[in-house]
Amino acid sequence: MKRTTISLPEGLATAMEREARRRRVSVAEVARQALAEHLGLDEHRRSLSFIGIADSGHATTAQDFEEILAREWRPDRDR
């Protein structure tokens, strides 16, 4: 793992410390998770083994499945 130093505005640093206490993890872990999620590298993303087993009639469905699922599942997730 590579060590990186960043400067944060006071409010953001306080929010990260509060979130770390709430989750009972380190501030570094909160930062790693937030960055991974923001960059689309979240290791906790679900693997969907059924993707690509049917013909949607659209040429790019298999390539665009993450965008399609995010758009279609968002209302269910927000309930």
DSSP 8-68: --HHHHHHHHHHHHHHTS-HHHHHHHHHHHHTT--TTPPP-TTTTSS--S-TTHHHHHHHH
- Give residue 10's pLDDT: 97
Reported pTM: 0.53
Residuewise pLDDT in 10s, the chain (79 residues): 899 999 999 999 999 999 999 999 999 999 999 998 888 786 665 566 666 677 777 778 778 878 888 887 766 555 5
Rounded distance, CA 3 to CA 42, Å? 19
- Give residue 16's pLDDT: 95
Nearest CA-CA partner of 14 in 30, 37, 32, 1:
30
